[in-house]
Amino acid sequence: MNRKNKLALGLMVLLGGWIFWHEGKEINFHQVIKGLAHLQWYWLVVAVLLMLLSFVAEAAVLKTLLEKKGEPKQPRWNLLRVPPIQAVFNAITPFSSGGQPAQLVALLKIGYEGGRASSVLLMKFVIYQLMVLINFILTMFIGFHQVVMQFHGLAWLIAFGFTIHVITIGTLLMIMFYYSFTKGLTRGFFQLLGKIFKTPRIQKWSDQAMLKIETFHQESIQLKREKKKVLRAAILTLVQLMAYYLIPYFVLLALNVAHVDLITVFSMHVMIVMITSIFPVPGGAGGAEYSFKTLFSLFIPSQTLLILGMFLWRFITFYLGMILGIIATSIPPKRMFDRKSEQDKM
């Protein structure tokens, strides 16, 4: 991590600390200590293990998409370190925009060629977005009506987040199946933009967009050829998301919250993730905490336990990834070609 990234990381930790101080300044500190004393720690361990499972499943997705016959296998650490690295760079950049480049750099460092690494990450992104969308559509039938009735403002945020995801997936599918039409539409849009603003920067943006469309289209052809590989990656991505979405349920069990319905809690967490994705602040800071506190007030009547639950959930799903990401960046990988050369010597 460079100096700029370390500064951003420090600011995010300070921002997170300020948010928790602001949320918790009205609660009784002795009640927090009492709540901690009565925690069911084994359920909290399950929540942490689910977060780790989510990272392992994501690494398995990368392994599935990268592996080729006749190519030496990567050391496990090389791919296991990529998801935490993505997590820490997602956490310090607006709209989680730093995660993709960070993954690319991590793959380049272990010996993968840039074009291949970019293509695989693009495939991974498409599969992930599709699985997120499928999960959200399914959970809308379970918990969205309850949110609409009780939290009208949040319902609009959820609907907005859903719309953004649909547009993203729709655009990617158009490039896959209606390549010429999408390319012509994009070119026409930038030509219109150029006539309005008359700046050379528009042409630069147009060239970049055309290149990305071309790259994605070529990769989509490869994606359609390798249906079994894509299916395996989709199943592993589903495991990754299921593990992540289940974490609040076990946090509530750890807090001794009675009458917790797993399906409802699961659907609420899916909605929180959807809301967080539309906040431009790195890590969705503020939006994530507000969403959790609002939605899970349905289950936790005590303000003290609600804030404690929010802290535990946020630490496991956000700050734990940052900690593991810092560790992952500090331990260098073993380059793939080093492994090849070792095999050649044997």
The pLDDT tens digits of the residues spanning 51-61 come to 999 999 999 99
- Per DSSP, the residues of 161-224 read HHHHHHHHHHHHHHHHH-HHHHHHHHHHHHHHHHHHH--HHHHHHHHHHHHHHHHHHHHHHHHH
Locate 116 and state its tokens.
């291949």
Q: Which residues contact 262 (CB under 8 A, 6 or more apart)?
A: 246, 249
Is residue 321 within 8 Å of 88, Cβ to Cβ?
yes
Tell me the residue range of the domain where 341 lies.
Answer: 3-345
* pTM recorded for the entire structure: 0.81
Highest-pLDDT range among 96-105, 164-173, 308-317: 308-317
Question: Based on the structure, what is the number of domains in the chain?
Answer: 1
pLDDT band at 22 (very low <50, low <70, confident <90, very high): low
Q: How confident is the model at residue 151 (pLDDT cuts 50, 70, 90)?
A: low
Average pLDDT over residues 139-162: 72
Give the pLDDT mean for 325-330: 90
Give 258's DSSP letter: S
Question: What is the per-residue pLDDT across 61-95, written as a single tens digit (0 to 9) for each?
Answer: 999 988 877 777 788 889 999 999 999 988 888 76
Gap between the Cα atoms of 127 and 36, Å rounded: 39
Which helix (H) or strand (E) is 117 found in, with range? helix 114-139
Average pLDDT, the chain: 81
